[in-house]
Amino acid sequence: MDAKHYFDVEAYFRKLCDANRLARAESFRFCTCSGIESLQEPLQRFARDKAFFCVDDINDGSITRGQGGGFYKHRTITVFLMRRYTFNDEPSRLHALSVCRRLMNQLLSKLIVDAEDLENELVYLDTANVMCRELGQYFLNGCTGLYFMIDISEPVDLVYASEEWQS
């Protein structure tokens, strides 16, 4: 990442999914979606996969000026962790939700470590305030989980270059 290239969220979280022992043991499959209203990839794979590690591939954001005068692209990253369970079996649902909670905590602990490492591109990750929400019991029959949202504010190069414009 630099002021001209944004952090590759999808590649980073795919790597985390592949490297996490709990995600591997519970057969979480990495995928993408376009928000909670459009969980297209998990729904397409619902019959054959039992757990989903889904990163939202669209980001709302804003460009802001920092206190030092530089500009930053502020984005919110959303990650969905969902796991199937036996329909109408409350202990099964609670177990599936528990797995998602544990995985989220492990991911957040890794994000904190990575954000504090000054030699990587995650130093602009805001780990001080992570919003999370569990999905309702009837969100998707036979599937439960949660999602969390984490902010990143990356420097952006907005230096005017006259050669980019016709006079």
Instruction: Tell me, yes or no, whether 101 lies in a domain.
Output: yes
Provide the domain count of the chain. 1
Q: Is the pLDDT of residue 40 over 70?
A: no
Q: What average pLDDT does this structure show over 126-144?
A: 84
Phi, psi of 163 (to 5 degrees): -70, -15
Indicate the pLDDT class of residue 58, thresholds 50, 70 and 90. Answer: confident
Question: 98 in a domain, yes or no?
Answer: yes
Is residue 82 a part of any domain in this protein? yes
Task: Tell me, yes or no, whether 88 lies in a domain.
Answer: yes
pLDDT at 52 over 50: yes
Instruction: Please return the burial class of 63, using the count of CB atoms within 10 Å of its CB with bins 0-12, 13-18 and 19+.
Output: exposed
Q: For all residues of the chain together, what is the average pLDDT?
A: 86
pLDDT band at residue 37 using 50, 70 and 90 as cut-offs:
low
Domain that holds residue 105: 9-155
Q: Which residue has the higher pLDDT, 146 or 139?
A: 146
Structural domain includes residue 2: no
For residue 38, what is the domain's CATH number? Answer: 3.30.2000
48 versus 103: which is more confidently predicted? 103
**pTM attached to this predicted model:** 0.85
Written as one string, the DSSP assignment of the chain is -BTTB---HHHHHHHHHHH-HHHHHTTEEEEEESSTT--HHHHHTTTT-SEEEEEES---EEEEE-TTS-EEEEEEEEEEEEEE--TT-HHHHHHHHHHHHHHHHHHHHHHHHHHH-TTSTTTTEEEEEEEEEEPPTTSBTTEEEEEEEEEEEEEE-----GGGS--
Would residue 166 count as lying in a domain? Answer: no
**Residue 3 belongs to some domain of the structure:** no
Instruction: Assess if residue 4 is contained within a domain.
Output: no
